[in-house]
Amino acid sequence: MRHPESRDPCVAIALHDVSPATWRECAVLLEMLDGVGAAPLSLLVVPDYHFKAPVLADRAFRNAMDARVERGDELVLHGMHHVDTEPPPRTLRGYVERRLLTRAEGEFAALPVEAAAARLAHGIDLFKTLGWPLHGFVPPAWLASEASRTALTRCGHPFTYMTVRSGIFRLPDWRFERTANLCYSPDSALRRLFSRLAIRTELRRASHTSLLRISLHPQDAREPMVLAHWRRLVAAAIATRRAVTKHAWVASLEGPVEASRQVPEGGSRDRACVDVASVRAAS
């Protein structure tokens, strides 16, 4: 049996927060990715972004997604609303994760089982209605409570993976595969600097991992320097690694691997981008 890290190096390029509400910025990023020949992609679709952009109400968006599926891209369920609607956290850690770093967008960070199950069911039904194949689930901000994980296990849909900031869980057995992951926090000059340092650290880590993940977000399109940096990073990655969807990479793993003894905690987008330990290691 081959360990996943001995496999040919791959890169999975994911565009997060894909929605009618974010489509203009997503289209800019997709144009960049198409321009450098990055394919296939994993597109993380939010069924009703911030309760104001239902996918079913936007035919043009649905047609655009159909076209991406036709060209070989994967559509992934990315929460339901991308908003954390649960009561405010009571601990400092909870506040930092759910409010400060994620801007209250970690939808599945604190959901009880019943609520998580209902939102998963709505998302699954949407994909079935539209005829979109569905293999993966990525919780917004990469945060999923234990109750949310329980709901995912019980949902009845044959998901093959769930992604967190540090890697991918192979379902249904929750076997964890650690990956390298590049992403940006582009909102300020300081965050962009920290992101570049964290990316440098992750690229060093990527030399020891089978899968490099490149995680783009709509706000990345707002900063020309960030967009240009992504273009260089993506071009370099696909020159040395085989581009795959997340589902294809998970499906390619042969046989069971040793399960992680400790389930990694969910992380926020900004924790992944502006991880103090990573920044110190890179500096």
**1 lies in a domain?**
no
| Banded pLDDT at 110 (limits 50, 70, 90) | confident
> Could you give the number of structural domains in the chain?
1
Task: Identify whether 123 is part of a domain.
Answer: yes
Domain of 99?
7-282
pLDDT one-digit tens code per residue, 13-33: 999 999 999 999 999 999 999
Let me know if residue 118 belongs to a domain: yes
pLDDT for the residue 263: 44
Q: Evaluate if residue 279 carries a pLDDT over 80.
A: no
CA gap 88, 116 in Å, rounded? 17
The Cα angle at residue 79 between residues 30 and 53, in degrees rounded to 5: 65
The answer to whether residue 209 sits within a structural domain is yes
**Tell me, what's the pLDDT at 188?**
87
On the question of pLDDT at 91 being above 60, the answer is yes
Distance CA 271, CA 268 (A): 5
Residue 90 has a pLDDT of 64
Q: Say if strands 10-18 and 242-243 run parallel, antiparallel, or are unpaired.
A: parallel
Contacts of 144 (CB under 8 A, 6+ apart): 108, 109, 152, 162, 164, 266
Tell me, yes or no, whether 116 lies in a domain. yes
pLDDT grade for 187, boundaries at 50, 70 and 90: confident
Can you give the pLDDT at residue 219? 96
Q: Tell me how far apart the alpha carbons of residues 10 and 40 are, in angstroms, rounded to a whole number.
A: 12
Average pLDDT over residues 246-260: 73
| Higher pLDDT, residue 105 or 91 | 105
CATH number at residue 218: 3.20.20.370
pLDDT at position 191 is 87
Q: Are 196 and 164 in contact (CB under 8 A)?
A: no
pTM of the model: 0.86
